[in-house]
Chains A and B, each alone.
Chain A
Amino acid sequence: MTTLVLEHVSRSFGPVRAVDDVSLAVPPGSVTALLGPSGCGKTTLLRVIAGFLEPDAGSVALDGRVVAAPGRCVPARDRGIGYVPQEGALFPHLDVAANIAFGLRGRAGRGRRERVARVAELLDLVELPRTFAERAPHELSGGQQQRVALARALAPAPSVVLLDEPFSSLDAALRASTGEAVVAALRAAGATGVLVTHDQDEALSLTDQVAVMRAGRLVQAAAPRELYARPADADVARFVGGAVVLPARARAGRATCALGDVALVSEADEAALEGEVTLVLRPEQLRLTPERAATHGGALARVIDVGFHGHDATVRLALLDDADVRLLARTDGLTAPEPGAQVRVDVVGPASAHPR
């Protein structure tokens, strides 16, 4: 069980600050996602933690021991950190068993019987049949290759495992199931995981903590639920799930916007807000009812178009009073209104707000 602590880590490539003053603590046994669009510096940060890159400033500590700081870096091979790169990168000239056993040292690496036992144990852990041991990497599907790559990283029993967009090359159906299996194996092995991803669904559903990065900086690190309910700003809100962003005026824990009077999340920061704010609502917080006139609260809007997805539908709307105000709502697929229909919009649940 290890705590991974990053303090003020920076790393530049020429004039570009790829990672800019990032501090983050990853609790033992947890899985943390580094989430951000491509080019935000998340992979660079991962490579600094792994020991493939040196930081220009700041430090990385494992269990209180500094492993990376300018001028004194423990080489990657002595860090005991597992690494699962994109698309697995299995050694193509070795079979599955030899891939998994590649990093085994000492007794487990030398004795034939110990090796076979450890390989079998790891195949069980990543939920692959033991008969796969003899296969060549090219005989496996993408998801299976990822699982073997994880087994290979877990074999020397590292305290921390780093995963660099491990599921991005898999198709959608396989992505979810492989992701769950990989995280389950990490937890079963008791390893601390850091998962780089640009897929917010993956980050929210698989991990304990999500660290959102933007242009090299860490914008917010929070538990998935907390992140969704209280994004640090409107951009984070838009990036993590859809968002309806409206100007509003706040007073005493409530805010007045184009949709009427809305409660703010009952946290100290929001409760203290006064005056002009930016209000952030989630699309599923907008409830649509077919209606010709606003009776109590709510506002009237016209449906511009509907994106139908079966289980749900995304509805784009324009307010009747002010057609410049565009809204995005998520409704049940079967009860979605038709384009052109007039609906009443009500807000369900509290909104988050940020001073303007």
Chain B
Amino acid sequence: MLTAVVVAALALVPLGFVAYDAAAVGPREAYDLLWRPRIGELLWNTVRLVVGGMLACAVVGVGCAWLVERTDLPLRRLWHALLVAPLAVPAFVTSFGWVSLTSSVQTYAGAVLVVTLAYYPLVYLPAVVTLRGLDPALEETAQALGHGRLAVFVRVVLPQLRPALLGGSLLVGLHLLAEFGAIQMLRFPTFTTAIYDQYRSTFNGGAATMTASVLVLCCLLLLLTELRLRGRRRYARLSAGSARPADRQRLGRWTPVGLLAAAGVVALAVGVPTYALVHWLVVGSSTAFPVADLLAATGTSLALGAAGAAITVVLAAPVAWLAVRHRGRLAGLLEGSTYVSTSLPGIVIALALVTASLRVVPDLYQTYALLLSAYAVLFLPRAVVSLRAAIEQAPPVLDDVARSLGTGPLETIRRVTLPLIAPGVASGAALVFLAVSTELTATLMLAPIDVATLATRFWSASSSVAYGAAAPYALLMVLISLPATVLLGRVSAGGGDR
């Protein structure tokens, strides 16, 4: 119990620091810092990027989900695998792929295109799951009540897709607010890139913090919207038993159109970045295979991933345990607090930890300890979600049975609880591991000076337009991410990757 409170408190440290710093700036100065045309421009850019990205992701995600789940599109399993594939490519690599081939995407429309291609799977996956679970009897009933196909889709299917659609879109929104690497490459200034530049150029705590606090407000606004929308309604089948699969819509002579649409999305989202990587690997003048550097960066990424995963899972365990075994207000509050903090952009968390460490424990600045705690705060929810599901696999009644058979508490944990939750713990650790090993923003700001990961190497190479030198690092990151993507695509249950 106490440990869970401590973990939740730790997760809230960054939020607290942003709030404290913002309050410390003083009203006069805050007004001056905030009431500038620059902030207005950033706000306008951020909002139109987020809104545009969310809408485009919703359309692409639902459209693809419908094609794959509800039509007789040929090769559906292949399309599904390919449509999930962008999850394996970090957004800043997708962005790199486009930017390195054509500078014409460095506009608003280009930015929306690129972030949509990177993030639409966050809508696609929950939409696929919902469409698969939808009871066809509902649609048949609606048809029997005299509705045409289109009316059925609008009045029955779409409302049921709403939770998946809203949840996925809001997740996209949070990711877009937090995205730094991809947007920096697109040269489309938003809050994250501005915070980073302010931090880099001046170490000006005040300006960066004020900008960050506006960003935090945007995030909390989105998060609140999500909570409200999620809590209000339930769409469940009322009867027991599993739904039978729905009949698929015959595409007929529209088949080529469907194929073209799916192929188009896949070509833009997977094909272009892949082509760019291969192109720069093969023809790039700066291409070199500094094997030692590659190995060192890979080693660092993997080691950080392993350490981050271990720490995060250990911290998540008490929170998840409380949430499952001792449901109540406090447990819910603790679980919620881990989510709030981690919906904050990595850049804000990194900034808060930098300020916090410089002021309170300067020795921690640019140490592994600080970097790992940033990872823990960022990725705690992924671990909590997996562990929750795992602990639900070990209901308390099994403990009762074990006790009645003469087993002591420790022996019960060893013989019953651990074997049951092991798979969930492993998958939670794997998710965190993969997230950490491709993390860019917090690593850039917090890593010890001489430490380079795949992401930071890639970043420094591509920032100095050494595209050929950047390509091998990007390729390695994609390879590392593949297993988690396969896992997500296969499980397809549960909402997204948060």
Q: Which residue of A lies closest to B406 (CB)?
A: A77
Binds A, one of B18-26, B331-339, B393-401, B467-475: B393-401
A-B contact pairs, 15 of them (CB 8 A): A52-B403, A75-B403, A76-B403, A76-B404, A78-B406, A81-B404, A85-B401, A89-B397, A92-B420, A93-B420, A102-B402, A103-B404, A103-B407, A105-B406, A162-B404
Q: How far is the CA of A105 from the CA of B411 in the complex (A)?
A: 13
Q: Which residue of B lies closest to A82 (CB)?
A: B404
Q: How far is the CA of A76 from the CA of B404 in the complex (A)?
A: 5
- Chain A: interface size category: 20 to 34
Q: How far is the CA of A50 from the CA of B406 in the complex (A)?
A: 12
Contact partners of A102 in chain B: CB under 8 A: 402, 405, 407, 415
Q: How far is the CA of A153 from the CA of B403 in the complex (A)?
A: 11
Could you tell me which residues of chain B, from 110 to 132, have a CB within 8 Å of some CB in chain A? none
Q: Are A83 and B406 in contact (CB under 8 A)?
A: no
Task: Mark each residue of chain B from 394 to 429: 1 if its CB lies under 8 Å from any CB of chain A, else 0.
Answer: 010110111111111000000110011000000000
How many whole Å from B384's CB to the nearest CB in chain A? 23
Contact partners of A86 in chain B: CB under 8 A: 397
Q: How far is the CA of A81 from the CA of B398 in the complex (A)?
A: 15
Q: Are B405 and A152 in contact (CB under 8 A)?
A: yes
Q: Which residue of A lies closest to B405 (CB)?
A: A103
Contact partners of A82 in chain B: CB under 8 A: 404-405
Contact partners of A152 in chain B: CB under 8 A: 401, 405
Q: Are A77 and B401 in contact (CB under 8 A)?
A: no
Q: Are B400 and A50 in contact (CB under 8 A)?
A: yes
Q: Are A89 and B404 in contact (CB under 8 A)?
A: no
Contact partners of A77 in chain B: CB under 8 A: 403-408
Q: Are B400 and A83 in contact (CB under 8 A)?
A: yes
Q: Are A51 and B405 in contact (CB under 8 A)?
A: no
Contact partners of B398 in chain A: CB under 8 A: 89, 91
Closest 7 A/B residue pairs (Cβ): A103-B405, A83-B404, A76-B403, A89-B397, A93-B419, A77-B406, A85-B397
Q: How far is the CA of A79 from the CA of B403 in the complex (A)?
A: 10
Contact partners of A105 in chain B: CB under 8 A: 406
**In this assembly, does A156 line the interface, its C-beta being within 8 Å of a C-beta of chain B?**
yes
How many whole Å from B156's CB to the nearest CB in chain A? 33
Contact partners of A85 in chain B: CB under 8 A: 397, 400-401
Q: Are B401 and A83 in contact (CB under 8 A)?
A: yes
How many whole Å from B229's CB to the nearest CB in chain A? 34
Q: Are A76 and B419 in contact (CB under 8 A)?
A: no
Task: Mark each residue of chain A from 136 to 173: 1 if its CB lies under 8 Å from any CB of chain B, else 0.
Answer: 00000000000000001101100000100000000000
Q: Are A89 and B403 in contact (CB under 8 A)?
A: no
Contact partners of A76 in chain B: CB under 8 A: 400, 403-404
Q: Which residue of A lies closest to B420 (CB)?
A: A93
Q: How far is the CA of A156 from the CA of B398 in the complex (A)?
A: 17
Q: How far is the CA of A82 from the CA of B408 in the complex (A)?
A: 15
Contact with B400, one of A52, A75, A91, A103 (Cβ below 8 angstroms):
A52
Task: Mark each residue of chain A from 248 to 275: 1 if its CB lies under 8 Å from any CB of chain B, else 0.
Answer: 0000000000000000000000000000
**B-side interface residues toward A, CB under 8 Å?**
393, 395, 397-398, 400-408, 415-416, 419-420
Contact partners of A52 in chain B: CB under 8 A: 400, 403
Q: How far is the CA of A102 from the CA of B415 in the complex (A)?
A: 9
How many whole Å from B322's CB to the nearest CB in chain A? 20
A-B contacts besides A77-B405, A103-B404, A105-B406, 18 pairs, CB < 8 Å = A50-B404, A51-B404, A52-B400, A76-B400, A76-B404, A77-B407, A82-B405, A83-B401, A83-B404, A85-B401, A89-B397, A89-B400, A91-B398, A91-B420, A103-B405, A103-B406, A156-B405, A162-B404
Q: How far is the CA of A91 from the CA of B401 in the complex (A)?
A: 9
Task: Mark each residue of chain A from 67 to 102: 1 if its CB lies under 8 Å from any CB of chain B, else 0.
Answer: 000000001111111110110010111000000001
Contact partners of B415 in chain A: CB under 8 A: 102
Contact partners of B403 in chain A: CB under 8 A: 51-52, 75-77
Q: Which residue of B lies closest to A105 (CB)?
A: B406
How many whole Å from B10's CB to the nearest CB in chain A? 33
Q: Are A153 and B406 in contact (CB under 8 A)?
A: no
Q: How far is the CA of A78 from the CA of B403 in the complex (A)?
A: 8
Q: Which residue of A lies closest to B418 (CB)?
A: A93
Could you tell me which residues of chain A, from 35 to 52, have a CB within 8 Å of some CB in chain B? 50-52
Q: Which of B397, B403, B406, B415 counts the most A-chain CB atoms under 10 A from its CB?
A: B406
Contact partners of B405 in chain A: CB under 8 A: 77, 82-83, 102-103, 152-153, 155-156
Q: Are B406 and A89 in contact (CB under 8 A)?
A: no
How many whole Å from B207's CB to the nearest CB in chain A? 54
How many whole Å from A354's CB to the nearest CB in chain B? 40
Q: Which residue of A lies closest to B419 (CB)?
A: A93
Q: Are B420 and A89 in contact (CB under 8 A)?
A: no
Q: Which residue of A lies closest to B423 (CB)?
A: A93
Q: Which residue of B lies closest to A103 (CB)?
A: B405
How many whole Å from B405's CB to the nearest CB in chain A? 3
Q: How far is the CA of A162 from the CA of B408 in the complex (A)?
A: 20
Q: How far is the CA of A85 from the CA of B398 in the complex (A)?
A: 9
Contact partners of A91 in chain B: CB under 8 A: 398, 401, 416, 420
Q: How far is the CA of A92 from the CA of B392 in the complex (A)?
A: 13
Contact partners of B408 in chain A: CB under 8 A: 77
Could you tell me which residues of chain A, from 17 to 75, have a CB within 8 Å of some CB in chain B? 50-52, 75
Q: How far is the CA of A164 from the CA of B400 in the complex (A)?
A: 12
Contact partners of B395 in chain A: CB under 8 A: 89
Q: How far is the CA of A179 from the CA of B314 in the complex (A)?
A: 45
Contact partners of B416 in chain A: CB under 8 A: 91
Q: How far is the CA of A82 from the CA of B393 in the complex (A)?
A: 23
Contact partners of A50 in chain B: CB under 8 A: 400, 404
